[in-house]
A and B are shown apart, each in its own frame.
Chain A
Amino acid sequence: MKNDNKTIAVKMLEPGGNITPVFILLAVILIIAFILDILLGSVSIKPAEIFRVFTGNADTNIETIILRFRLPKAITSLVVGIALSLSGLQMQTIFRNPMAGPYVLGVSSGASLGVALVILGFSSSFVPGNLQNLGNWVLVISAWAGAGAVMILIMFISSRIKEIMTILIIGIMLASGISAIVSIMQYFSSETMLKTYVIWTMGSLGNLSGGQLKVLTITVAAGTILSIASVKMLNALLLGENYAGSIGLNIRLSRLLIFACTSILAGSVTAFCGPIGFIGIAVPHIARNLFGSSDHKILVPGTIMAGGIIMLISDIISQLPGNENILPVNSVTSLIGIPVVIWVILRRRKETGIF
C-alpha cells in the first residue's frame, strides 16, 4: 500500500501537460485583479480620474484615496495572499495532510494571545475604552511576540521529537490551549474590549501605515525566498521522511527551516492584519488542481500567483464596491475558501496519493 502511494506520488511530480499557458493565464488574472482592486472601492471613482492620478494632475482628494488607501491595501492583499498560501503549502507537504494550514503550528493562536493580553488583559488597569487609541504598532508587536514565542516552542519540540505527526498533534493542542486562555480573558472583559478584540480577529488589510507595509513586504519577501530555496527539500519530503532521509536529506534541519519559514510568513501576516483564515488551506489545493502536479518547482510559483489573486478578489468583495458599508475580510476569505475545501475533499477520492 505504502509503495503504491509512492508510485502515484512520483507520477504526480511530473507536470501534467503543458503548464506555460496556465502560468500566463494566472499572471494576466493577477494583474487584472490588482488593477480592479484599485479601481473598485466604497467611493466610486471613474477609471479616467484614477489614470490621471498616475500622470500627476488629478484632484488631490482622489489622489489621497488612491495612493494612501487603495494602493497600500492592494499591495497588502497581494503580500498577505502570497504569504498565507505559501505557508499553507509548506505545512500540507511537511505533514502530508491536506487539511494542514499556516496556523496548525499555533502561530495565529500565539499572535491572538499577544493581542488579547493587550486588549483584554492590561487595559483594565488603564483608562477604560482606551483600546481604540492603542497605536497600531502596539498590537503588531504584541502579536509578533506571541507568534514568535509559539514558534520557538514548536522549534524546540520538533528538534526533540522524531515523529512528524506528534508535532502536528502538539501544535493543535497548543493552539487549543491558547484559545482556552483567550476565552477566559474574553469572558471577564467588558463589551467595548470584547468588540475591539473580536474586530481584530476578523482581519483587516487596510490600516497598515507606509512603514508597516515595508516591514511586512520585506519579511514576506524573505520568507518567499526561503520557500523557493527549499523546493527540493519539499519535493523530497512529499515522498515521506524515510525516503527523504534515504536520499541524504537532513530531516530535522529541513523541518526547522520550513517551520521557521512558515512562522515568519504566517506570523507577520497575523501581526499586521489579524488572523485571516482558509486562504492558506484552500489555495495550495487550487494550485495542485490547476497544474495537475505536486512538483514544488511548479507549485511554489503557482501558489504565489493563485494566493495573490484570491486575496485580491476577497478584498474587492469585502469593500462592497459602491456601498459605504464594508464586510470583514476574514469572513469573505472563509466563504470563498469553504467551497474549495469541500471540493477538494470530494475530489480526493479519485486522486489519493497527491500527498
Chain B
Amino acid sequence: MNTVLQRQFYVLITICFISTLIFSCVGRKNNIAEYEASKGEGIVTIADRFSLEKTDSCTILTINDPWQGAAGIKNIYYLVNRNSDITLRVDPSEVIYIPVQKIICMSTTHLAMVAAIDERHAIAGVSGTGYIFDEKITAMIEEGLISDIGYESGLNNELIIRISPDLIIMYGIGSESVGYVGKLREMGTQALFNADYLEEEPLGKAEWIKLFGALFCKEKMADSIFTSVVTSYDKIKEYIKQTAGEMPDVLLGLPFRDAWYISPGNSYISRLIQDAGGSYLWHDTKSSVSMPYGLEDVFLRALEADYWLNTGTARSKKEIASIDQRLKNLPCFINGNMYNNNKRISPGGGNDYWESGALYPDLILKDIATILHPELFKNKELFYYQKIE
C-alpha cells in the first residue's frame, strides 16, 4: 500500500518536473488575469505559414515551412520582453528579446509592414537600397541611417556585425538559405525567415503584420490594421459576389524568349482575380511555382482573354510589342485592355505594389475589381494599377 502511494507520488513528481521543463514558458501563472486579457491579441487566423501563441511569460512564434519546397519544417522562437526578468529554460538561440530595437529587413514587404506600425526608426539595414518605394525610408538611406547589406550569399557579414541588429528578417528561397542563417547565428545575430511571399491567401499574406506587431510589442496596432484590411477586403468581395454578372477572362504576365511563365491557379494573384470577379485563364492549375509554358499554347488561350494584367514593368504598348511582335495580335492588345501594377514607382525604381501591396490586398482587390467591372466602380481611381497606353 505504502509503496504504491510512494510510486504514484514519484510519478507525479516526475510528470511535474517534465512539464515544468517543457512548458517552462507557460509555467508562471502569477499574472493570470493580465495574460487572459491579452490572450486574444495577435492570434493568427488566416495565414498558414506562421502562428503566435501567447503565454504569460512569452509569445511563442512558429514559422511553418519557411521556404519554397520546405516540408514539415518548423522554426520556433520565443519572444521575451527585454524588460522582464524571466529566464526561459529554452535554447537561447531561439529567444528574441522584444520589442526589437534594431532590425535588418531583406524584403521590401517587411519594410512596408514595419512602416505601417510606425517603427521605421528601428530599420538599420536593407537588401538592395535601389528598390524601395517608401519615401521616408529612402530619405533615411540617403542620410546614411540605413545601410545596404547585399544579397543572399553576397551578404556583407562584416557590415552586419558592425550594425549588430537584434534581428534580421530574411526570406528563404530554398533550403540553402539555412546556411546563411547558420552563419549569422554563429556571428551572434538572430535571424528569422519571413514566409509571407509563400502565402496563397491574400489576407494571409497581410496577416504577417501581426508578426511585426509581436516583435515590436504593438499587437493592438497590428491587429487593428489587419482587421480593417479584412473588413474592407470582404466588403469588396461580397459586393462583387452580389452584383457582378459575367466573369471576364484574365491573362497574366509576359513571355520571355520561348517560355511564358504561368502563375498557377492556387497562387496569390489567381485568388485576387477570382475575388475581384474575374476568371484567370489558368485558374484550374496547381503548383507551388510558376510553370514554363510553350508560347503557342499560351497564345492560343490568350486569344480568349478579356483583360491582360501584370505585364512585367512594361508601361507602353510599344514595350510589349518589342518583346514579341506576335503579342500585337492579341485582342487585349488591340482593345487596349491592358493594365499593369506599376503606377506607384519611386525614382529609384521601387514598386509599391511589391512593397505595401502585401499588406493591403484590399487595395489591390479594389483595383482589379475596378478594372474588370468598371460599371460597378464608377469614377474610382486606380491605386497600384495603370492602363497601358
Interfacial residues, chain A to chain B (CB-CB below 8 A): 41-43, 61, 64-65, 68-70, 124, 126-130, 132-137, 187-188, 190-191, 196, 199-200, 204-207, 209-210, 274, 319-320, 324-326, 328-329
Q: Report the separation of the CA atoms of residues A326 and B323 in the bound assembly, to the nearest whole angstrom.
A: 19
Point out the residue from A70, A132, A133, A190 that lies within 8 Å of B151, measured CB to CB. Answer: A190
Contacting residues, chain B, for A135 (C-beta < 8 A): 319, 322-323
Point out the residue from B292, B322, B329, B349 that lies within 8 Å of A326, measured CB to CB. Answer: B292
Contact A127-B299, Cβ < 8 Å, known A132-B313, A196-B256, A207-B257: no
* Interface residue? B70 (CB, 8 A): no
Contacting residues, chain A, for B319 (C-beta < 8 A): 133, 135
Nearest residue (CB) in A for B291 is: A325
| Given contact pairs A133-B314, A135-B322, A325-B291, a sample of 12 additional A-B residue pairs in the complex whose CB atoms are under 8 Å apart | A42-B293, A68-B326, A128-B349, A129-B351, A132-B256, A133-B320, A207-B257, A324-B297, A326-B258, A326-B259, A326-B292, A326-B294
Contacting residues, chain A, for B320 (C-beta < 8 A): 133
Interface string of B138-179 (1 = CB under 8 A from A): 000000000000010010000000000000000001000000
Q: Report the separation of the CA atoms of residues A133 and B324 in the bound assembly, to the nearest whole angstrom.
A: 10
Q: Pick the most buried of A70, A134, A199, A207: most chain B CB atoms within 10 A of its CB.
A: A207
Nearest residue (CB) in A for B313 is: A130
A324-B329 in contact (CB<8A): no
Q: In angstroms, how far is the closest chain B Cβ from the Cβ of A134?
A: 8
* Interface residue? B300 (CB, 8 A): yes
Contacting residues, chain A, for B173 (C-beta < 8 A): 191
Nearest residue (CB) in B for A326 is: B294
B299-A69 in contact (CB<8A): yes
* Interface residue? B278 (CB, 8 A): no
Contacting residues, chain A, for B100 (C-beta < 8 A): none
Q: Report the separation of the CA atoms of residues A68 and B296 in the bound assembly, to the nearest whole angstrom.
A: 9
Q: In angstroms, how far is the closest chain B Cβ from the Cβ of A45?
A: 10
Contacting residues, chain B, for A319 (C-beta < 8 A): 294
Point out the residue from B131, B293, B324, B329 that lies within 8 Å of A207, measured CB to CB. Answer: B324
Q: List 13 A-B contacts (CB under 8 A).
A: A42-B293, A65-B296, A68-B326, A68-B329, A129-B313, A132-B323, A133-B319, A135-B322, A188-B151, A191-B173, A204-B259, A207-B255, A324-B294
Contacting residues, chain B, for A128 (C-beta < 8 A): 128, 130-131, 349-350
Q: Report the separation of the CA atoms of residues A196 and B322 in the bound assembly, to the nearest whole angstrom.
A: 16
Contacting residues, chain B, for A132 (C-beta < 8 A): 254, 256, 312-314, 323
A-B contact count (CB 8 A): 107
Interface string of B301-319 (1 = CB under 8 A from A): 0010000000011100001
Contact A69-B324, Cβ < 8 Å, known A61-B303, A133-B313: no
B326-A124 in contact (CB<8A): no
Q: Report the separation of the CA atoms of residues A69 and B130 in the bound assembly, to the nearest whole angstrom.
A: 38
Interface string of B245-257 (1 = CB under 8 A from A): 0000000001111
Residues of B in contact (CB 8 Å), total 37
* Interface residue? B325 (CB, 8 A): yes
* Interface residue? B345 (CB, 8 A): yes
Contacting residues, chain B, for A205 (C-beta < 8 A): 258
Q: Report the separation of the CA atoms of residues A192 and B297 in the bound assembly, to the nearest whole angstrom.
A: 24
Q: In angstroms, how far is the closest chain B Cβ from the Cβ of A31?
A: 22
Point out the residue from A64, A129, A136 that lies within 8 Å of B324, measured CB to CB. Answer: A136
Q: Report the separation of the CA atoms of residues A320 and B293 in the bound assembly, to the nearest whole angstrom.
A: 10
B325-A199 in contact (CB<8A): no
Point out the residue from A129, A136, A199 that lies within 8 Å of B323, measured CB to CB. Answer: A136
A69-B313 in contact (CB<8A): no
Point out the residue from B255, B292, B303, B345 that lies within 8 Å of A325, measured CB to CB. Answer: B292
Q: Report the separation of the CA atoms of residues A187 and B150 in the bound assembly, to the nearest whole angstrom.
A: 11
Q: In angstroms, how far is the closest chain B Cβ from the Cβ of A111?
A: 15
Contacting residues, chain A, for B13 (C-beta < 8 A): none
Q: Report the separation of the CA atoms of residues A127 and B329 in the bound assembly, to the nearest whole angstrom.
A: 27
Point out the residue from B294, B324, B349 that lies within 8 Å of A42, measured CB to CB. Answer: B294
Q: In angstroms, how far is the closest chain A Cβ from the Cβ of B280?
A: 15
Contacting residues, chain B, for A320 (C-beta < 8 A): 294
Nearest residue (CB) in B for A72 is: B326
B322-A64 in contact (CB<8A): no
A127-B292 in contact (CB<8A): no
Q: Report the separation of the CA atoms of residues A328 and B314 in the bound assembly, to the nearest whole angstrom.
A: 25
Q: Pick the most buried of B151, B255, B256: most chain A CB atoms within 10 A of its CB.
A: B256
Q: In angstroms, how far is the closest chain B Cβ from the Cβ of A142?
A: 14
* Interface residue? B295 (CB, 8 A): yes
Q: Report the separation of the CA atoms of residues A325 and B262 in the bound assembly, to the nearest whole angstrom.
A: 10
Contacting residues, chain B, for A136 (C-beta < 8 A): 322-324
B294-A200 in contact (CB<8A): no
Nearest residue (CB) in B for A62 is: B300
Point out the residue from B254, B312, B349 that lies within 8 Å of A126, measured CB to CB. Answer: B349
Contacting residues, chain A, for B312 (C-beta < 8 A): 129-130, 132-133
Contacting residues, chain A, for B313 (C-beta < 8 A): 127, 129-130, 132-133
A207-B296 in contact (CB<8A): no
Point out the residue from A41, A69, A127, A200 that lies within 8 Å of B257, measured CB to CB. Answer: A200
Q: In angstroms, how far is the closest chain B Cβ from the Cβ of A130?
A: 4
B254-A133 in contact (CB<8A): yes
Contacting residues, chain B, for A188 (C-beta < 8 A): 151, 154
Q: Report the separation of the CA atoms of residues A124 and B259 in the bound assembly, to the nearest whole angstrom.
A: 24
Contact A42-B296, Cβ < 8 Å, known A199-B257, A325-B291: yes
Contact A206-B258, Cβ < 8 Å, known A41-B294, A325-B293: yes
Nearest residue (CB) in B for A274 is: B257
Contacting residues, chain A, for B295 (C-beta < 8 A): 69, 206-207
Point out the residue from A130, A134, A210, A326 that lies within 8 Å of B325, measured CB to CB. Answer: A210
Q: In angstroms, how far is the closest chain A Cβ from the Cβ of B300?
A: 5
Q: Report the separation of the CA atoms of residues A126 and B154 in the bound assembly, to the nearest whole angstrom.
A: 21
Point out the residue from A41, A124, A196, A206 that lies within 8 Å of B130, measured CB to CB. Answer: A124
Q: In angstroms, how far is the closest chain A Cβ from the Cβ of B150?
A: 9
B257-A64 in contact (CB<8A): no
Contacting residues, chain B, for A329 (C-beta < 8 A): 258
Contact A204-B294, Cβ < 8 Å, known A64-B329, A136-B324, A209-B325: no
Q: In angstroms, how far is the closest chain B Cβ from the Cβ of A246?
A: 49
Contacting residues, chain A, for B131 (C-beta < 8 A): 128
Q: Report the separation of the CA atoms of residues A206 and B326 in the bound assembly, to the nearest whole angstrom.
A: 11
